[in-house]
Amino acid sequence: MNKSYIPKEISWLSFNERVLQEAENKEVPLIERFKFLGIYSNNLDEYFRVRVATLKRLSLYGAKSKNILGYNPKATLKKIQEIVISQNTKFEKIYTRLLKELSNHKVHILNEKQLNPEQIDFVTNYFHKEVRNRLMPFMIERDSDLPNLTDDAIYLAVYLFKKESLKKRYALLEVPTGILPRFIQLPGKKEEKYIIFLDDIIRFGLKDIFFIFDFDEISAYTIKLTKDAELEIADDISESYIDKLSKSLQQRKKGTPVRFIYDRCIPPDLLKIIKQKLNIGSDDVVIASNRYHNFKDFMKFPNLGIKEFYNEELIPVPHRDIVQGKSILSVIKKKDLMLYFPYHPFDHFIDMLREASIDPAVESIQITLYRLARNSSVINALLNAVRNGKDVTTVVELQARFDEEANINWGNKLLNEGVKVIYGVPGLKEHSKLCLITRIKDDITEHYAAVGTGNFNKDTARIYTDHLLLTTNKK
């Protein structure tokens, strides 16, 4: 390894450890500290899906890869495994301390064996009403392959045992966190609050799912697989860019494993058969962890209504030069405006687009789109502009990582409504955040521009710090 610098994959882990430090910072409100565990976990998932996956691919080129990178990918992968395992130990200690602190504040996270009669009734009812019909187990047989496991989902590896015959059966069950909340509030006394993981509600009801088998013991252990998510877009000119990308997205679902996490209490024979069927090799990062995975779900922890557990909500301050009910374009014509998110409302930008979409003098709107909010007001404003006869052109970047599919859908929606859509150029990645409004009044052409550091995305503008310059200055 070149001693003059640290490989970026290693220095990135130091950045993520900084996130972990916020989770143990006592000055941060308690639930916000749980959220930092979620952010750390979410960051690490993407790191493995992209950076570690790329390193693994490069390591296949042997000595050549060292020349490309300037350092040895195999040695770096080994170092990554050491650091991640060490950070995981730290992570678990912080989590245990936070649970204790939560309990001291009369908020308890229970498992399926700690329920009182009233909670048992609640969980039984919730399992039958909400959970049971969403569970589809896959029986693991020695001579069959596993189904294609969803990247980053969590699964329960189920162990069925019959004492008399020593017969064992194994199964896999996906925890439906995409459909149901991961945390469910249980009934309790007024001053005490109780929460249970969805995983444990499933453990509670396992007998109802596997009743057709003869067993004395049934138990379940969480596993999680992270796959290579880097896209391969082959340069075949005969295929359209969107078709290539769509094929790559299908391939991503079948990506090779780069990390495997499992509950350290899992029976060795069940662990062995799963690792064999997933082709987990010595180069893959394998982490023995605690009972629960996918801590990113803590970013959506239920609101407990206890004020001191949370950061005070940030209420954006309107820009002093923008007056509600007055033209924003006329203000920009007189002076440049700098918006600073999340301290200014993103609505100012939406209001400007809406104004442009109905202003009779506005001829065209041109904009780059990278990551969009789920229900995008920006898209609505652009569609409104087209309906009002404006000429609208968008550059939609299809390579916005993990938003590729959404961007293809947005692009199709815009095209269907008559917007000119330019998809990002193969071989280049469009990161610019630009918008240009052209207005012609009395034969005088005026250009109004928005130049930003963040995405034109109302959701992320509430979280990330970004600038947006609104200007008519030609320079």
Q: Which residues are catalytic?
A: 431
Assign 3-state DSSP to the chain and report helix, strand, coil percentages, each to 5. Answer: 40, 20, 40
Bond before 29 cis per omega within 30 degrees: no
Distances (CA, A) of 218 to 62, 121, 142, 150, 439: 46, 21, 19, 24, 70
Q: In whole angstroms, what is the distance from residue 19 CA to residue 40 CA?
A: 6
Q: In whole angstroms, what is the distance from residue 112 CA to residue 96 CA?
A: 18
- Would you say the C-alpha torsion 148, 152, 158, 159 has a positive or negative sign? positive
Nearest to 219 by CA among 149, 271, 286: 271
Distances (CA, A) of 97 to 89, 90, 397: 13, 11, 43
Residues contacting residue 240 through CB under 8 Å, at least 6 positions apart: none
Q: Cα 69 vs. chain centroid, distance in angstroms?
A: 28
Q: For residues 198 and 131, is the Cβ–Cβ distance under 8 A?
A: yes
Residues contacting residue 327 through CB under 8 Å, at least 6 positions apart: 355
Q: What is the DSSP letter of 464?
A: S
Q: Cα Rg for the chain, rounded, in angstroms?
A: 26
Dmax (CA) for the chain in angstroms is 93
Residue with tokens 């970004």: 466
Q: For residues 107 and 39, is the Cβ–Cβ distance under 8 A?
A: no
Residues contacting residue 93 through CB under 8 Å, at least 6 positions apart: none
Q: For residues 92 and 289, is the Cβ–Cβ distance under 8 A?
A: yes
Q: In whole angstroms, what is the distance from residue 280 CA to residue 227 CA?
A: 11
Question: Three-state SS string across 391-441, please?
Answer: EEEEEECCCCCCCHHHHHHHHHHHHHCCCEEEECCCCCCCCCEEEEEEEEE
